[in-house]
Amino acid sequence: MPIELKIPAVGESITEVQISEWLKAEGDSVKQDEPVAVIDSEKTTFDLPASHAGKLVKILHQAGETVAVGTVVAHLKAEGGAAKAEPAPEKTPAKSEAKSVSEPKSKKPQPAEKPKTEKAQPAEPEPENPKGTSEEESAPEAPKAEPKAAPVTESKAADLKASPPVAKPKTPADPEEDVVPMSMLRRTVARRLVEAQQSMAMLTTFNEVDMSAVQTLRKEQQENFEKQHQVKLGLMSFFVKAAVDALKKFPQLNAEVRGDNIVYRNHFDMGVAIATERGLVVPVLRHAERLGFAELEKAIADFAMRAREGKLKPDELDGGTFTITNGGAFGSLLSTPIINPPQAGILGMHTIQERPVAVQGQVVIRPMMYVALTYDHRIVDGREAVLFLRRIKETIEIPARMLIEV
């Protein structure tokens, strides 16, 4: 009996998934827990592992197909079962071949068998046939070949006389465009972004942050921090800390609209946007207010690694009360991020660029970053949004405020 490879449950709200690609072909050997396919859901992309070691004998649903959770998509043959099953078919033909070879020696009534082969051969001519048979078959073949060749030659000549050569029609061999179906993850992201723009009154406000203090702190403490915690001290943990601090002072940005009500949350689950080849994912740092710098950096690094490997769990992407996205990782100088519904705000970080700024009446060169806050104007007024972003700026420029909470 083949082993059924089924689509596992990937979250309460997810009922169907899309097969993105098969990593193994029919006949390939697989190890237990080795990924055999990449599966897209509306929240994340994940690998489908082999439940047993053995061979992939049958693929039932091809890449690009959408299937329900629990569907059998392939059959495996277990390693032990394959080893036992193979010797039996090999021995049976060996015995029958031995009999067929020995029988002509003892029984020599071959003439009785020849007529049978001669009658069967006209459908499949071979050089072993008698001369008479091969000549009778080759004679009708010649006239068949000539009429086929003649019309082709005449049509070509007629075409050349009738009109000059024309451009060949486009063939699939050299298309001018590729049509690729959107992954389920990409379709979901697209739908949610459009819904956000249609259902929210989104507005963006900007500010700029002097990153000198954070850069100096990171440079001074990086070696000790990495030695003690086995992770680098990055920028994101500073902004997560600063965002939690600002959200405590401006709770409208940690709220959501639910019907005719505003729901204010007393916990801070921070979504961190991560770009992958398959699309944008936003894993959530649960209760970020309880996490230290090392815990934040380890969690963010783990999310980033597993997001690119397609190993994030659906429940790690659920919820979130506020989101931070870092377009600066790709060199973005300025942008207007789109809110991740039903949240009320999203903070956009950008690239750090040395610029001349005025400090105490003097023009100096400082590492500056533009920051952007997009907010839902239905529940967040402009005043709260501007003050929230100014609080982020002040906290990043004086990191000690994160420790003494002023």
- The answer to whether the CB of 337 falls within 8 A of the CB of 376 is no
Calpha distance 380→386 (Å, rounded): 10
* Two structure tokens written together for 124: 């499949």
Sequence-separated contacts (24+) of 76-84 with Cβ below 8 Å: 76/2, 76/3, 76/4, 76/5, 76/30, 76/50, 76/51, 76/52, 77/2, 77/3, 78/3, 78/52, 78/53, 78/54, 79/52, 79/53, 79/54, 79/55, 81/54, 82/54, 82/55
Tell me if residue 381 is catalytic: yes
Give me the phi and psi of 191, to 5 degrees please: -65, -45
Calpha distance 82→19 (Å, rounded): 27
Residue 280: beta bridge partners?
A: 275
Spatial strand order of the sheet with 3-6 comes to: 3-6, 72-78, 54-59, 29-30
Q: What does DSSP assign to residue 396? A: H
Q: Where are the beta strands (DSSP E) in 237-301?
A: 255-258, 261-264, 270-272, 274-276, 279-281, 284-285
Residue 263, CB-side half-sphere exposure with 13 Å CA sphere: 9
Which strand (E) or helix (H) includes residue 76?
strand 72-78
93: region left, alpha or beta (phi > 0 left; psi from -120 to 50 alpha) = alpha
- The answer to whether the CB of 45 falls within 8 A of the CB of 38 is yes
* Two structure tokens written together for 403: 């420790």
Q: Which residue numbers are catalytic?
A: 377, 381
